[in-house]
Every structure is written in C-alpha cells, then in structure tokens.
Structure 1
Amino acid sequence: MKLDYKKTIYVGLAFLIISLFWQTYDAIITKILIDKFGLNQTWSGFVMALDNILALFLLPFFGGLSDRTNHKRGRRTPYVVVGTLLAAFLFVGLSFFDAMQLEKLDAETTLRVEYDNAAGFTEELTVAEWRTISNTMDGQSESTHILDILDAVHKGTTNRIYEETDVLSLADYNDAKDAYYRYLSAQALDVTMASPTVFIVFIVMLFFTLVAMSTFRSPAVALMPDVTTKVLRSKGNALINLMGAFGGITAIILLTVFGLDQHSFVNYTAAFVSVSIIMVVVLGIFLWKVNEPKLVQERIDFEKANNIVDEEETENHDKISKDKFMSLVLILASVFLWFMGYNAVTTKLSDYAPKVLNMGYSTPLLIAQATAIVGFIPIGIISTKWGRKKTILFGVALLTLCFGSVYFITETTGILLYVVLGLTGIAWASINVNSYPMVVELSKGSDVGKYTGYYYTFSMAAQILTPILSGFLMDIPDFGRKILFPYATVFVIFSFITMLFVKHGDAKAEKKSLLENFDVDMD
C-alpha cells in the first residue's frame, strides 16, 4: 500500500496557490498601507488581521458547505476554481489602486525618492545631510521630533559637539530615521484624507479578495483526505504541506527578482500581476490533472477491495481528566503565546527590515523557509527520541534567542539577520512538528475535529490580536519599530514557561518514514 505521489502533488497544487498568495499578501500589503496610505502601525495591523477574523467564520462555513455540495466536478473543485479566479482578478485590481495612490503621492507631496531606504540612507550621513532632509519637512506636523534631534546634535547637547561634517551617533541616527519615516507616512495620510476614494476602493477590494481566498482554503485542504485512504493520509498531508512551502518560496523569489523587497515607494504591479498569472496557470494544471469524482471513486474502490473500514468510536467517552485538561489548557496557552510573538514578526518584517536595517526582507524570509523545510526530517527524528515536549522547549528556547538578538543588529551588522532567521526556521519547525500532535493526542476518536478546532481558535486569535498590539507599541515614539523583536521575545518566553508545566500530550516513540516528518501545519 503506497501513496500515489504524482496524484497527491497535483492535488497539492491548490495548496500551493494558497501559500503563494498569502506570502505575497503579507509581504507587500503592510508596506502599502503604511507607506502609501499613511496608516499607522496599529491600523495597518488591524487590516492585516482581517484575514484571520474572516477565517474564524468563513473557513468552517465553506468547509461545511463543500461537504454538502453535489457537482459534476466534485465537492471541492468548484470552490477551488471560483475562489482562485476571483482572488486572482481582485488581486490584479488592487495593483491599479496601489499605482494610483503612488501617482497621487508623487504629485501632491514632497517625498524625496533619494532618501528612500537603500538610496544613500546609512548611519554615515552627516549632520548637514540630515539637515537637508529636515528642510523637506519644514512646517510639517511630523517634522518637530527630527528637527529637535538635529538641533540638539548641531548645538552639541548630545554626546559631544558635532560639526556639520560629523556623522550622527547611532542613537541619534535611529531616532531621526524613525521620525523621518513617520513624516513620510503622515504626508501619505494627509493625501489619503484629502481624497479618500482610492483608499476606500482599495480596502473594499481587499476585503472581497480575502473573502475569495476564504472560500476555497477548507475545500482545498479537505480534497487530499477525500482522495487518499486513511492509512496514507499522514504522508499525503506531508506532501501537501511541502507544496505549500514551495508556493511561499516562489512568492519570495518573485519579490527578490523584481527588486520589491526593500524600497517603500515603488509600484507593486509586477508582483500583483505575476502572482495572479501563476495562480491561474497552476489552477489550469490542477484542472487538467485532477478529476476529483474519478479519484474519489478510486479511493472508495480501493478501500472496498482491501476491506479498509474507517470506523468511528461509538462508545461513550469519559470526560477528560483534570490533569489532562490542565495540560490541554497549558498547550493551548503556549500556542497562543508563541503565535503572538512569531506572527508579529512575520507580519511586520517587511516594514522593519528596510527601515531599521536598511536591507531587503525577502532573502531572510527565504532562508527561514528553506531551513524549516530542511530541518523537518532531523527534527522529526529527534522528537521521536526526545519526545514532543522537550523538542518544543528546545524550539522555543532557540526562538527566544533568535528574536532577542535581532534588537542588537544594526545596519552595519545586518548580514547577521540571515543567520538569525535561518535558525528561526529551525526553531519554528521544532515547535510546529510537535504542537498540533500534542493537542490531538489528548483527544479521543471522534473528538479529533473538536480538538483541531481548539488549536486553530487559539492560533488564529493570536494572529488577530498581535498585528494590532505590536503595531500600537511601534506607534509610540519612545519605542518605534525597534520594539518589534523585544515584544516578540517576551511572548515566546512566556510560552516556554507555560509549556514547561505540561505533563500530557507526548506519545511513545514510533518509527516514521522520512516523508511523515513533514506532516505539520505550515501557517
């Protein structure tokens, strides 16, 4: 009894589409909201949380609706087709309004492209150069802070007396740069408020894009179990998740090739259009190769021929014991806490890396994805020897070290971010490989779905809250963007503490194939 790898790969194309979209969405929508429409970190975080808010309601709805669908193309395929086409069309539509807003900013503001990110924006800028920057901000509401800093530098009320040719101290530089970006965002907000039509249409279109994506995620994920016999679903799910990972990597490569991963005031049309075209092309291959009714019938015939019966437990279940219930609560609390830290970083990194470290964000993300994929196999082997809890604690400790160290990375040491996010990928894989199985381990038979719901409720709740809360803190001038990684570190530390007291959810070591070690959720 072997998994049909070719069939499963074709079925996994639907999940590749999903991951391709979300990786692109997370990378560029945050930057558009902040840089071009002038939203602060808090409100941009709220918009970025919309997809998870919708997911709480729409994923179960469309999953259940597809269960009751009777179409000649099958139960799941119609949702994949309609959802993908709508999302791709709307995603291209977003590019027009992004470009329109950029044109308005060019025409109506004093934005200076030469000071955008990599274009000469370094710690070595002299006081005179920074005063030139401040002159473009003269009289603007957000210019006060940067002018105060420059005046203090010029008057010698900082560490030492500066001449016009002296470079700023690192602390002064960071404060000035943060104030400058707030100024640029404030200018964009003034343009948006003066003529909000483009912003309103953009948000409405964004909302419908998120709804379109929500229509087919559950059906796409459910398609693999529909066409795969139960005993092979673990391997099948592993292959599906790997397809999703390749989709995410494809998005990162596209952003790098188009040079869109560092600058703020650029036209993202190439990214929007390219991703949409790939989504439609992959959908075409999916429809060509996946005949859902035929594959479902093959699975049914196979199970009949081999006398494979999927039996539901019929006996009454005792309530979960007090000790196990406490472990469940602690595991779910840990899930919530480490997602609070991790998702804050993944949501805000595209804004943080260019503006704090003066570097692109796509390569570090690509490294993190790659090391996670490479790490699944050895981590899966280690977890069978150490146990799930110990492996998770190792991952959380490593994640704490990684996030905590980023605070000390500056523009001159930015290359270290590649190393840190590479280790972050290994840390996150160590957590993801084992956390969901620990929750399911505490369930009984037909309760698996309910306990799966618990897991996603707590993880999604964190992903709804953390972009808003982290954004609120980043909006406080005394904190700024530099608070992002200390914020994430604190939550990850708390997850280590809660996980430390978990007593149940481990399983006895069992031998797995190499592929089964990839059987994790790739969110």
Structure 2
Amino acid sequence: MERKLDYRKTLLLGFGFFAISITWSVYNAFMPVLLGNFLESSALIGFIMTIDNYFALFIQPAVGFYSDGINTRFGRRMPFIMIGMPLAAVFMALIPNHFNLTSLVIFLVLMNLSMSLYRSPVIALMPDITYMEHRSKANSIINFMGGIGSLIAYVIGSRLFKYGEGYPFYLSAVLIVIAFTVLFMNIKERRDVIGYEKAEEKRDFVTGVKTALKDRNTTFLLFAICSWFIGFNGVETFFTRYGSLYLGVDPSVSAFTLSFISLSFLIFAIPAGLIGTKIGKRNTIRIGVAGVIALMIAVYFVKPGNPNAITIIRGLFLLVGFSWACININSYPLVADMSPLGLLGTYTGVYYLFSSIANIVSPPLLGLIVDTFGFSIMFLYGAFFFILAFVFMTMVKDKRAELNGGE
C-alpha cells in the first residue's frame, strides 16, 4: 500500500515553523536598531545578537533528547511547546517596553530562553509525523510556512516600525499565540505520530556528534552548513544598519528590502523541494550556493551614490531568495539521508548544533570587521563563506544519500 504525505497535517504543523520564523525575522531586523539606541559598537551588538545561539548549543539539544524519553497525555513534544510558545509571546511583547539597556537585555534573554524550550520539539515533530520518503516534500511545505512568517515580519513589520519601534514585536507576539493555538488544537501526538511507541533508540548528544564526525562525508556537509549560515546570518543581522549607515536609507526601507529574499524564498520553497527530488539534493544545493556567491558579489558593487541602489539590491535579493531556497529546503533532508538507522534524532541535533555555531560566530565577527573596515566589505564577507561552503559541498559523496535521492 502506497504511503502518502498528509498535506493538511503538514500544513498545520507548519504553523510552528511560521511562529519561529516570524520571531527571528523581527528579532534580526529590529533588535539591532533597539540595541543601537544604547550602543555604538557593531561588534558588541553582534555579540548580544548571538545569545539565542548559546542557548541553542546546550538547551535545545537537551530538550530535544529529553523529549524523546518522556510520555505524557499530550505526547513527547507538546509539553515543551505548551510552555515555550506562550512564554516567548509574553517576552516578545515586553522587549519594546524596556526602560534601559539592562531591562532590554533581560527581556531578550528570557525570550531566547523561551524559544529554546520549544524550537527543537517543533522541529522534531516533522519527522515524527512524516514517512521518510516524504520528508523533503514536508520540509518544503513547512519552510513555505516559515517564508510567510518572514514575509509578514519584513513587509508588515517594516510598515509598523514607522509608527512605533514596539509594533513589530507586538505583531510577532500575537501571531505566536495564534500559531500555538492552531498547533495545540490540531496536532495530537498520540494520534498523528507514526510509530509513537517505537521511538528511536536513545543516544546521548556527545556520542551522536562523535558518530557523525567519524564519517567524512557528513563532516564535510556539516562544515558546508556552518559556512553558509555564517555568510547568510551575518548579512541578515546587519543589513538594517548597512542600509541606514552605508546606503543612507531609513531602517524601515532596509527591513522591507529584506522581504524580497523572504518573498522569493516563499515562492520557490516548494519548487526547490521538487528540483531536489528531480536532480538530487546535493546538486540542487551546489547550484544554490553558486548562485548566492555570484549575487553577493554583485551587491558589493552597488555603491551608496547610486540613486537606484535599493531597487537594484531588491532585484538581486529576489534571486538570492531562490538560491537560498535551493540550499535550505534540501540541506536538512540530506543530513537525514546520511543518518544511520537509529540516529536520525541525533543527526538532527548535530545539524542544529553546527548552524548554531555559525550564528554565534558570524554577528560578532562581521561586527568586528565592519568596525575595522566599514560596511562596504559586508557582502564580500558573505560571498567568502559561501565559497567555503561550495568547496566543502564538492567533497560530499555518500552512497546512502545517493540511494535516497541525495546525488
């Protein structure tokens, strides 16, 4: 009997990714502006922006693995979602109500801690409720929902920001609550999870990392993932300040410009999954990485004196969104394809470990480079790390991945 993908269930689960995406998009676009009201150093702002990734190194893997072993009437993942999502909404709404730098940092730390409680369980639900052969399609649908979240953050959030710095954060808080309600009412783990009583074998995180790094192909893939996230995260984090301080445009204009990546990603999310199925995940990723390299170099040559600078960058960002979709839609399924039997959850944790390391390294590193050389260097920085990612991807060869469409 043919096993089919439950599109309705996958779409409803996508609301969890929608909430994650809109929260981080608002956080990355507007938090540097709030911090900039108190701080001048881009390096220090970049360091503060990495706090969520320090939590991701320790709390998210621990929560993910612990959720494998519990057994409640709500399931394994939902208890963490029930705690984390409402708290994230509360602290997201409190961030713009800070009264000094200390209170702002406290609120953003508590928001990040709340996000760490539910992010891994939401992510783990996708393979929980999806047959292995349909996970690429499911990932494209879920990322489509995430793209909608980012688009709302940049398009509506940038408009709201003109009327008050707090409005994008309030919008995010309300949408987190709505997304939680949809998840809680429609995803019932004991009914929806495939093989609920046959959970994967429990492994500790350190052993999982060692197992993954013993395989050279997995190691090269993880290094590629780390490299492209360093390149992308740094540019995304500082683009609002890049626009205002280098190009001389209003921060709301910069934030709206980021929406062109989100719009393109949204349009091409599902096609990128289909392309990955047709020509292979690795080939699709390589095409995407090469595209981002060329486009970031092109943005570098767009200078402040050009009256059409923002228009040109927006056009290039549409193509960046397509290339980023080719990368992001296919990377996690490729990691899953490389996972030995019984280690899918562990490899998922390793995937997010390496992306978190990238997000810890990139903002302060780029901030330091910007403080030293200026914002003109920013897109060359991004291109350099995508070139590294391309080099690592050329070294990825894995027979298990080829058998599952990874070539």
For the aligned pair, the TM-score class normalised by the smaller chain equals 0.7 to 0.9
Displacement of 1:422: 1.0
Displacement of 1:449: 3.5
Q: Which residue identity lines up with residue 13 of structure 1 in the other structure?
A: F
- What does residue 206 of structure 2 align with? none
Contact 1:14/1:80 (CA < 8 Å) preserved in 2? no
Contact 2:84/2:117 (CA < 8 Å) preserved in 1? yes
> What is the correspondence of 1:102-501 to structure 2 with a 5 Å cutoff?
198-228=100-130, 233-260=135-162, 267-296=164-193, 325-359=215-249, 360-384=253-277, 386-411=279-304, 412-414=307-309, 415-476=311-372, 479-501=373-395
C-alpha spacing 1:355/1:240, structure 2 compared with 1 (3 Å): same
Contact 2:139/2:329 (CA < 8 Å) preserved in 1? no
Q: Which residue identity lines up with residue 15 of structure 1 in the other structure?
A: F
Displacement of 1:493: 2.0
Displacement of 1:310: 8.4
Displacement of 1:58: 0.8
Mapped partners of 2:33, 2:200: distance in 1: 50
Query: Per the alignment, in what secondary structure is the counterpart of residue 49 of structure 2?
Result: helix
Mapped partners of 1:440, 1:417: distance in 2: 34
Contact 1:327/1:505 (CA < 8 Å) preserved in 2? no
C-alpha spacing 1:221/1:496, structure 2 compared with 1 (3 Å): closer
Mapped partners of 1:395, 1:21: distance in 2: 25
How many residues are matched? 390
Displacement of 1:80: 1.7
Contact 1:387/1:509 (CA < 8 Å) preserved in 2? no
Displacement of 1:229: 5.3
Mapped partners of 1:292, 1:451: distance in 2: 22
Displacement of 1:352: 1.0
- What does residue 16 of structure 1 align with? 18
Deviations, residues 184-224 of structure 1 (Å, cap 9, x unaligned): xxxxxxxxxxxxxx211211221111101111111222334
Q: Which residue identity lines up with residue 256 of structure 1 in the other structure?
A: S
C-alpha spacing 1:248/1:503, structure 2 compared with 1 (3 Å): same
Displacement of 1:44: 0.7
Deviations, residues 491-512 of structure 1 (Å, cap 9, x unaligned): 2223223333444468448789
Mapped partners of 1:439, 1:504: distance in 2: 11
- TM-score, normalization by structure 2: 0.84
Deviations, residues 263-313 of structure 1 (Å, cap 9, x unaligned): xxx7412122222122223323333334444445xx56xx99xxxx8898x
Contact 1:230/1:310 (CA < 8 Å) preserved in 2? no
Displacement of 1:30: 1.2
Q: Which residue identity lines up with residue 335 of structure 1 in the other structure?
A: I
Displacement of 1:320: 9.1
The unaligned stretches of length 5 or more in structure 1 are 101-197, 261-265, 313-318, 513-523
Mapped partners of 1:441, 1:288: distance in 2: 31
Mapped partners of 1:377, 1:282: distance in 2: 21
The partner residue of 1:28 within 27, 30, 51 is 30
- What does residue 520 of structure 1 align with? none
Mapped partners of 1:32, 1:311: distance in 2: 43
Mapped partners of 2:368, 2:315: distance in 1: 28
Q: Which residue identity lines up with residue 83 of structure 1 in the other structure?
A: G
Contact 1:59/1:217 (CA < 8 Å) preserved in 2? yes
Displacement of 1:396: 2.0
Q: Which residue identity lines up with residue 413 of structure 1 in the other structure?
A: N
Q: Which residue identity lines up with residue 435 of structure 1 in the other structure?
A: S
- What does residue 114 of structure 1 align with? none
C-alpha spacing 1:75/1:336, structure 2 compared with 1 (3 Å): closer
Query: Per the alignment, in what secondary structure is the counterpart of residue 258 of structure 1?
Result: helix
C-alpha spacing 1:233/1:437, structure 2 compared with 1 (3 Å): closer
Mapped partners of 1:462, 1:321: distance in 2: 18
Query: Per the alignment, in what secondary structure is the counterpart of residue 301 of structure 2?
Result: coil
- What does residue 48 of structure 1 align with? 49
Q: Which has the higher helix share?
A: 2
Query: Per the alignment, in what secondary structure is the counterpart of residue 13 of structure 1?
Result: helix
Share of identical aligned residues, percent?
33
Deviations, residues 349-391 of structure 1 (Å, cap 9, x unaligned): 1211232223412333222122223334444454455444443
Mapped partners of 1:370, 1:233: distance in 2: 23
C-alpha spacing 1:73/1:348, structure 2 compared with 1 (3 Å): same
Query: Per the alignment, in what secondary structure is the counterpart of residue 361 of structure 1?
Result: helix
Query: Per the alignment, in what secondary structure is the counterpart of residue 410 of structure 1?
Result: coil
Q: Which residue identity lines up with residue 158 of structure 2 in the other structure?
A: T
Q: Which residue identity lines up with residue 265 of structure 2 in the other structure?
A: A
Mapped partners of 1:386, 1:9: distance in 2: 25
Q: CA RMSD in A?
A: 3.2
C-alpha spacing 1:491/1:286, structure 2 compared with 1 (3 Å): closer
C-alpha spacing 1:455/1:4, structure 2 compared with 1 (3 Å): closer
Residue 60 (1) aligns with residue 61 (2): yes
C-alpha spacing 1:282/1:331, structure 2 compared with 1 (3 Å): closer
Mapped partners of 1:243, 1:206: distance in 2: 24
Contact 1:46/1:468 (CA < 8 Å) preserved in 2? yes
Displacement of 1:469: 0.6
Q: Which residue identity lines up with residue 151 of structure 2 in the other structure?
A: I
